[in-house]
Structure 1
Amino acid sequence: LRSLSETLHPHHEALLATYEGLVSVDLILARGRLSQELASMRGASRPVFHHEVRLEGLWHPLLGWVIDPEKIVRNPLVFGNQGRVLIVSGPNTGGKTVLLKSLGLAALMARAGFHLACAGEARLPFFSRVLSLIGDAQNLELSLSSFSGSVASLNETLRASGESTLVVIDEILHATDPDEASALSRSILLELAERGTFAMVTTHLNGLKVAEAGRFQNASMEFDAENLCPTYRLRLGIPGRSHAMEIAKRLGMPEGVVARARSFVSESHFRYEDALKAVEAKERELESARSALASEEAALQLRSTELRRRETELDSTKRIWKKKYEDDFSQRERAALQKIDSLADEMRRELSDVAARHAFSQTSRRIVQAAKDELHSVRTAADAAIPSPAPESGAASALRLGGKVWIKPMKSVGVLESDPSARDRPASVLVGSMKMRLEWHQLRPMEDATPAAAAPGSSGRRAAVPVEASVPEELNLIGRTTGDAESELSVFLDRASRSGRASVRIVHGHGTGALKRAVREYLKRCGYDVSFRAGGAGEGGDGCTVVEFL
């Protein structure tokens, strides 16, 4: 042994630290196991430190190993807001002391980090001290009677109590005169309340069964008067009767003795008992109402559960139908996309045709331009071969309405159809069957011009000429560019003016409006004497322009 001690002595600090660590681990495991055991008995709550005591479903943890956990009566213990001193009265063997110990044990377990034996919410202050006075304080060795021992213990309690202290006292000052004990107990409890101490006290003293606002709260343990047995249920806010006669009778006391004892009780005591009976009856009515309300709440809960189930089924049905409609919509969407693709293909084909027509229009434009160039060359050659007629001189050389005029740019002869005195507008000149608008400085009078010579055009209308059947009455420019449209329109008007037609129709459509504007702008500045308007009903409306030769 000495050798072993000498071997281990150099490691004693490490061994002690290991021992302490093992004890801590063992304590943690023990706390966890106790929590599991309490939870298996339908009552384990994590404590929350708060300014009041609220322990829902409080029970003594040792009862779980003594009786069936299903038979344990769990009580709501609430006090602190309306008074920090709770006075519990009621019959003997009614459970007051067990409830008192349950509170003290809960305070110690919360401080040590244990789960509490509560079936519901567990809130209470963090008590730095828990002081208990339970049992008879008689001590023969110290020559202390029950009363003197109780007073000595209460003195120590008063000296040690403070704001963060919990005091539990069982049967306060029960070993002396009831009236004096009531007065002294009330003074002691008031002192504890003024110090901010939480206290729970059990008593049979009627003088203490009076609540005091802000300091004392009352509670009692229920007693079944019909079956003459306690129910172990706590009733908050109601003082209780001791039921000493009924319990003594139940415990075997002779009926004669109990009856004689009743005759010794004062009238005031009977009145007090009757008042408490009335309060208990009212409490039973309220309890019955609470029970009925709880039943209704349970029924409503079942109804709510059923409604939630139906709501879930409805949501499921909605999802099914939604998926069905989404699938149907997807099919329709695919069909619509296929149709759009088909239309797009068709439009691409049409665009290809438009491109071909555009290429043809470009070719036609080049051919027309070549023909114009050729015509200009021919006219130039003809003008060079024919000498220009000499204009008249003197007063006879003035321009006259209906007189012949020489058109310098065209190097041709025409008939003047405008009054020479009104030169604020262009002159109207009839050249063959075509009427043109020219500037006055481009005109020169001819020698053989006489008023009678203007007869064919003096009426302001074109001379009637046969209509050339090969010239169509309509030109369709839809799909053309503005440049191509002007080229085709120029050729078409030239042919139409010489064909003898009174009017023609230019189809340009609506579109963006650019082609329509280009056509009508061109008609305003072309050299032909024409008027134009939008098509009327039956003529294509604003999608075409009707041109009339003047």
Structure 2
Amino acid sequence: MKFDAIDWQLIKNQLKELCTSDISRESVDNLTSYSSVSDVKHEYNRLDTFIDLLKLHPRPRMESLDLYYTWATRLEKNALLKPIELRDLRSFCIEVLALKETLLELDTRVTGQLLEGLLNPEEPLSAIDQIVNSDGSIRSDASEKLHSLYNEKNSLNKNISNTLDKLVKRHELENLIQDKFVTTREGRRVIPVKSNLQSQISGIIHASSHSNKTVYMEPQEVVPMNNRLRQVEYEIEEEIETLLKQLSDYLYDLRSPLEIARDVMTTSDLLYAKAHLAQLLNAHRCEFSENEIELLSVRHPGLVLQNEDVIPNTVKLNDHQRILLLTGPNAGGKTILLKAVGLAALMVKHGLYICAEEKSKMPLIDNFHIAVGDLQSVDDNMSTFAGHLKILNEALEAKGPKSLILVDEICGSTDPEEGSALARSFLLRYLEQNSFSIITSHLSPLKLGWKENSGLINGSLEYNSDTGKPTYQFLMGIPGESLAIQTAQRVGVDQEVVNNALELLTPERRLHQKKIMEVDSLKEELLKMHNSLNQQLKETEKERKKYQKELNTLKQEKESILKNELKRAQSEIEEMIEYAKVDETFKKHESLQKIKTKLPQIITSKDTEPKSTSVDSVDDFKKRFPKGTKVYVESVGRDGIVQSEPNARGEVEVMSQSMRLTVDWQTLK
């Protein structure tokens, strides 16, 4: 894809690493590309909210999304969910609950819209916890019947074991038994008996050894218990299936809210990843303009993610300067700056903060034309230069400030004279189209001959002539030099070869080489001024932020004082109102008493006495508070859902915020 040429895949890969689910990672490959400024601003508002959430506490994870389709597909078919699938659904509900609690931390329009899509997970979570343990196993007390069956099973197993243990230890059977142990065959408890003596023990033979010297016999004493045990096990399976069916039917009715919750979780996971990326990059939201690019201290985000010491640069283009022609030596940073501008435009297009300072601005780019890297195509029988020209030609359709053309080494891989002529012709057409362009080149003729109001401006990245190394500082308005001869001297090429090269230059070119020293000196002076101005700007901005912080603190203190005073005044007013009400009540009472003394006595019937609404017995409690009823639990000070009827001790199971409590029915309201 063309965007990979400017390292877009690096950004997407980092986003994928910051997601916590594969579903969200897949959505990164199809990241939404916005076509209107209002859509980007809306995404930025959501991003602001999630950055604020990250500042409050660590983000919740959405790993349960990866298992969503394993149970959701079966739920959609109203199939019987397996315990392991219920465990995964339980994990999903827990993560929904965690996300919901996190979003409630901020009262914003964004969090409100997301919360609308999240079902109340406590009810399905409570229903699942009633039947399934956290490891996916069935609870033995999932129902009263199941609890009773499990108790009977345990009792039968114990009785069978005790009976068989006594049999194998009986003295009269010592010569009949092959080994003194109890084992299982065909699901029934048996003892090993010598084959030639099996007729001396009453029971059922279920298997024999390979040597046929031993038979595994179920003694008659345990046959009835083993029969009942098998029956109990069958009833347990039936009861479990009934419970799972009831739970699956209940969850089937929630399939739509669960699906909506999945979408909210996927969206939130991606927004958290975007917010985290903005923090890692120290990125900021971009402002929008119609026909101006102003990227303040822009950096290549890929280098920032690699913890490189990145030199920030400011790039400005407008109606009068629409094409930036970057020239200079190899490895000087031209392509990095080109990619940084391109990535900033792409990140805005996809609702991401950009790796630049606040108040940076640019149009929302609709059309990208990128000619960077090797464009050779074996399948299309196209050389690198041909592929390069094809993209340059396609860029002729780019019109207006919402188009961005990025070309690295324009027409550089051909004859310099022809390449310069062809490149200039393309640039002239681009200027007519009023599109923005960042172009890099080593073609010297291309730097010259442009009028001041042509719309093209030269630029370069500073090269320290003393050290022979690039500083990566961008210089606007000053063309760069390829510095081939200077580079040859720096790397130690034989001086005679260097001198001969100078002699072989045209007179004009030799004069040009002499002027390079003067230009380098001018560049150094400009850079010093640039650095000094930047330092002053940083100090000014630092002071501005300091005073802004103090102003915000004063505003907060003012608001706090006003709020406290308002509360105090409201409290006093309420007290006065209450006092007035009480005083008025007493006066009315006195008046009524006077009237009553003058009225004849009225005997009221006992039938008119109000009926008591209190719960006086367990039976009353069962009628008023059946399973699923909401009650208030005094011991924990919050509401809960009744899970069972009172047992023999008067205890009731209540689920409150994923906690299963056992409390006395008389303490519930």
Under a length normalisation based on structure 1, what TM-score does the superposition of the two structures give? 0.49
- Larger fraction in helix: 2
TM-score by length of 2: 0.41
More contact order relative to length (CA 8 Å, sep ≥ 6): 2
